[in-house]
Amino acid sequence: MKKDIDFHQVEGVSVAIVRDLDALGQEEWNVYFINNNDIYLDNVLISSKGYGEHEGQEVKTSVLRHMYEQVGPKSAVQIEPIDPALFNITNEYWVSYYIGRNIHDKRFLFVPGSVVEENIIHISILEKEGVLHS
């Protein structure tokens, strides 16, 4: 049962929605998982979904699941591309991973209106600009 699992505090990981350029130099947006820790993270599972309301209509995206056997220390992996049209709904990234035999679990929410120019910062580990959620 879930209540029997001892979830440990999540530290040193982030999710970022980042502005990139494609091969033709056109703007595109991608979501990254960042490991700022000095250790490897094993069996990283990330579930993503979007939900909310737009123009009076309920909007729900498909649930996508991404699995990474290992994410190295001080590194990042691209989770998925994201359409800017989804910035006006809540975008949720549920992250679970192991350090040794201990499971860590955290939900990252990008609420409507959070991915805007005023919130964009330089993300040094990626050498790109975007919105960082820790």
| Res 22: pLDDT | 86
pLDDT at position 80, please? 97
pLDDT of residue 3: 66
pLDDT tens sequence across 60-103: 999 999 999 999 999 999 999 999 999 999 999 999 999 999 99
CATH topology for the 2-133 domain: Immunoglobulin-like (2.60.40)
The domain segmentation of the chain, as residue ranges, is 2-133
CA dist 104 and 126 (Å) reads 23
Residues 6+ positions from 60 with CB-CB distance below 8 Å? 49, 50, 51
Would you place residue 1 in the very low, low, confident or very high pLDDT band (cuts 50, 70, 90)?
low
Does residue 24 carry a pLDDT above 60?
yes
Kindly state the DSSP code that residue 9 receives in the 8-state scheme: P
User: Which are the contacts of 124, defined by CB distance < 8 A and separation ≥ 6?
Assistant: none
Q: What is the mean pLDDT of residues 20-36?
A: 94
What confidence tier does 21 reach under pLDDT thresholds 50, 70, 90? confident
Q: What angle do CA 96, 98, 101 make, to 5 degrees?
A: 140
Give the C-alpha separation, 120 to 103, whole Å. Answer: 31
Q: How far apart are CA 90 and CA 113, in angstroms?
A: 9
Residue that is written with structure tokens 């490897």 in the block: 40
Q: What are the start-end ranges of the H helices in the chain? A: none
Taking residue 124's Cβ as centre, other Cβ atoms within 10 Å add up to 7
